[in-house]
């Protein structure tokens, strides 16, 4: 029991509690589906960049990519450029055209506008399935991480993480999600360099890492 109350565990508990509180606070006062789904377009470019990076450069992605480089060498680094090219293509050629669909709240709405009601329904179903599978994958990864690093059973990591995510997301919609994403991004840009420095130091310095 004492091990569950050491500094490492307390940091995790505080972070999860802070995420829940911030998410619930950010989502208060939702008045309609427009505000719930798109936040009445209240966010600027910097906030959108933060939430995008927090989603696509999560701790799981960083750890997984670092593991690939460790096991396979520098080759995976070049494969990552494919993701960069894909995102830049979307930013330059796809995103500017989205402004034509100001009345659409979801991708299903957009597809229905272009191709009819049934296309919108199919897109909504496929989008829901994708969200369920991606969320399940992230929760399983969270459970495995909790068990391997903190000694907490994976099932408890999955349950607690899932409940926290569901609580603030269902309560505040996009406002809660964006706010917690920004918080998580700021946490990443502070913690990742510290972890990298500690890892390099533990390995014997930068020369030892390259050697």
pLDDT tens for each residue of 20-43: 999 899 888 888 887 887 777 777
Tell me the mean pLDDT in the region 204-209. 81
The average confidence (pLDDT) of the chain is 83
* pLDDT higher than threshold 70 for residue 62: no
pLDDT bin (cut points 50, 70, 90) of residue 91 is confident
Gap between the Cα atoms of 115 and 144, Å rounded: 42
**DSSP summary character for residue 102:** T
Gap between the Cα atoms of 78 and 84, Å rounded: 10
pLDDT bin (cut points 50, 70, 90) of residue 61 is low
Residue 75: half-sphere exposure toward Cβ, Cα within 13 Å: 3
Gap between the Cα atoms of 206 and 211, Å rounded: 9
C-beta separation of 164 from 33 below 8 A: no
Tell me the mean pLDDT in the region 44-54. 78
Neighbours of 29 (CB within 10 A): 8
Tell me the mean pLDDT in the region 173-202. 84
pLDDT digits (tens, 9 = 90+) for 146-177: 888 788 888 988 899 889 989 988 888 888 88
Q: Give the start-to-end residue ranges of the domains of the chain.
A: 2-210
């Amino acid at each position: 029991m004492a091990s569950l109350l050491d500094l490492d565990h307390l940091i995790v508990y505080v972070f999860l509690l802070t995420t829940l509180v911030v998410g619930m606070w950010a989502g208060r006062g939702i008045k309609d589906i427009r505000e719930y789904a798109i936040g009445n377009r209240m966010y600027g470019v910097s906030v959108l960049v933060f939430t995008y990076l927090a989603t696509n450069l999560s701790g799981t992605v960083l750890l997984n990519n670092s593991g690939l480089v460790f096991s396979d060498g520098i080759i995976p680094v070049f494969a990552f450029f494919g993701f960069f090219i894909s995102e830049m293509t979307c930013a330059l050629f796809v995103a500017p055209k989205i402004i034509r669909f100001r009345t659409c709240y979801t991708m299903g709405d957009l597809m229905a506008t272009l191709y009819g009601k049934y296309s919108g329904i199919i897109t909504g179903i496929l989008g829901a399935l994708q969200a369920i599978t991606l969320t399940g994958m992230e929760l399983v990864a969270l459970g495995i991480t909790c068990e391997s690093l903190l000694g907490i059973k994976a099932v408890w990591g999955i349950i607690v993480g899932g409940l926290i995510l569901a609580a603030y997301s269902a309560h505040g919609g996009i406002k809660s999600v964006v706010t917690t994403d920004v918080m998580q991004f700021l946490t990443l840009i502070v913690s990742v360099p510290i972890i990298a420095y500690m890892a390099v130091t533990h390995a014997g310095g930068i020369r030892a890492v390259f050697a």
